[in-house]
Amino acid sequence: MGINNLIIESPDFYLSDLQISILGLGYVGLPLAFQLDKKNDINPKTGKEFFSRIIGFDIDKKRIEELKTCFDRTNEFKNEEFKNLKGLIFTCDSDLLERSDVFIVSVPTPIDDSKNPDLRFLEEASILVGKSINYLSKNKFNPNIKKPIIIFESTVYPGATEEVCVPLIEEFSNLEFNKDFYCGYSPERINPGDPKRKIKDIVKVTSGSCKEAANIVDKIYSTIIDAGTFMASSIKVAEAAKVIENTQRDINIALINELAVICNKLGIDTNDVLKAAKTKWNFIDFKPGLVGGHCIGVDPYYLTFKSKKLGYTPEVVLSGRKINDGMTDYIVERFILNLLKNKINIIDSNILILGVSFKENCPDFRNSLVIKIIKKLQKYNLKLSIVDPLVDPKEIFTKYSFKVFNNINENQKFSGIIVAVAHDQFKAFSFDDWKHIMDESCIIFDIKGFLPSRLKALRL
Ligand SMILES: NC(=O)c1ccc[n+]([C@@H]2O[C@H](COP(=O)([O-])OP(=O)(O)OC[C@H]3O[C@@H](n4cnc5c(N)ncnc54)[C@H](O)[C@@H]3O)[C@@H](O)[C@H]2O)c1
Per-residue model confidence as pLDDT tens digits over 119-148? 999 999 999 999 999 888 776 544 554 689
Give per-residue pLDDT as tens, 266-293.
Answer: 999 999 999 999 999 999 999 999 999 9
- Domain contains 162: yes
Ligand 1 binding pocket (C-beta < 6 A) is 23-29, 57-60, 63, 106-109, 121, 124-125, 128, 153-155, 188-190, 192, 294-295
State the alpha helices, DSSP H only, in 267-353. Answer: 270-277, 299-309, 316-341
The domain spanning residue 434 has which CATH number? 3.40.50.720
Q: Are residues 336 and 423 in the same domain?
A: yes
End residue of a domain, out of 233, 268, 298: 233
Mutational test site, ligand 1, from 22, 27, 92, max ligand atoms within 8 Å of CB = 27
- Domain contains 76: yes
Region class of 459: left (phi > 0), else alpha (psi between -120 and 50), else beta: beta
Q: Are residues 229 and 266 in the same domain?
A: no
Residue nearest to atom 10 of ligand 1 (CA): 154
Q: Ligand 1 centre from 230 Cα, in Å?
A: 23
368, 369, 372, 377: CA torsion to nearest 10: -120
End residue of a domain, out of 199, 233, 267: 233
- Domain contains 243: no
CA distance 72 to 60: 13
Mutational test site, ligand 1, from 188, 242, 245, max ligand atoms within 8 Å of CB = 188
Q: Are residues 274 and 362 in the same domain?
A: yes
Per-residue pLDDT, 348:
80
Provide the 8-state DSSP code for 58. Answer: -
Show pLDDT as tens, one digit a residue, over the chain (460 residues): 344 444 444 445 666 678 899 999 999 999 999 999 988 766 666 666 554 479 999 999 999 999 999 999 998 999 999 999 988 999 999 999 988 999 999 999 999 999 999 999 999 999 999 999 988 877 654 455 468 999 999 999 999 999 999 999 999 999 999 999 999 999 999 988 888 899 999 999 999 999 999 999 999 999 899 999 999 999 999 999 999 999 999 999 999 999 999 999 999 999 999 999 999 999 999 999 999 998 999 999 999 999 999 999 999 999 999 999 999 999 999 999 999 999 988 888 899 999 999 999 999 999 999 999 999 999 888 899 999 999 999 999 999 999 999 999 888 999 999 999 999 999 999 999 999 999 999 999 999 999 998 999 999 9
Adjacent-strand bridge partners of 301: none
Mutational test site, ligand 1, from 28, 153, 165, 190, max ligand atoms within 8 Å of CB = 28
Q: Ligand 1 centre from 107 Cα, in Å?
A: 4
- Domain contains 368: yes
Q: Are residues 263 and 325 in the same domain?
A: yes
Residue nearest to atom 27 of ligand 1 (CA): 107
- Domain contains 354: yes
CB 169 within 8 A of CB 130: yes
CA distance 219 to 6: 12
Region class of 440: left (phi > 0), else alpha (psi between -120 and 50), else beta: alpha
Give per-residue pLDDT as tens, 162-190.
Answer: 999 999 999 999 999 999 999 999 999 99
Q: Are residues 203 and 340 in the same domain?
A: no
Task: Please give the tally of structural domains in the chain.
Answer: 2
259-267 long-range contacts (CB < 8 A, ≥24 apart) are: 259/288, 260/288, 260/460, 261/330, 264/334, 264/460
CA distance 50 to 43: 9
Q: Are residues 326 and 368 in the same domain?
A: yes
Per-residue pLDDT, 10:
43
End residue of a domain, out of 200, 233, 266: 233
- Domain contains 246: no
Q: Are residues 225 and 282 in the same domain?
A: no
Which residues are tagged catalytic?
Answer: 295
Q: Are residues 426 and 327 in the same domain?
A: yes
pTM (2 d.p.) = 0.91
Q: Could you identify the atom of ligand 1 that is nearest to the CA of residue 190?
A: 5
Q: Are residues 66 and 200 in the same domain?
A: yes
Q: Is 281 exposed, middle or buried (0-12, 13-18, 19+ CB in 10 A)?
A: exposed
Q: Are residues 268 and 391 in the same domain?
A: yes
Residue nearest to atom 31 of ligand 1 (CA): 125
Q: Are residues 260 and 229 in the same domain?
A: no
CB 238 within 8 A of CB 207: yes
- Domain contains 240: no
Q: Are residues 416 and 447 in the same domain?
A: yes
Residue nearest to atom 35 of ligand 1 (CA): 24
Range of the domain at 157: 3-233
Nearest to 111 by CA among 317, 358, 296, 245: 296
- Domain contains 223: yes
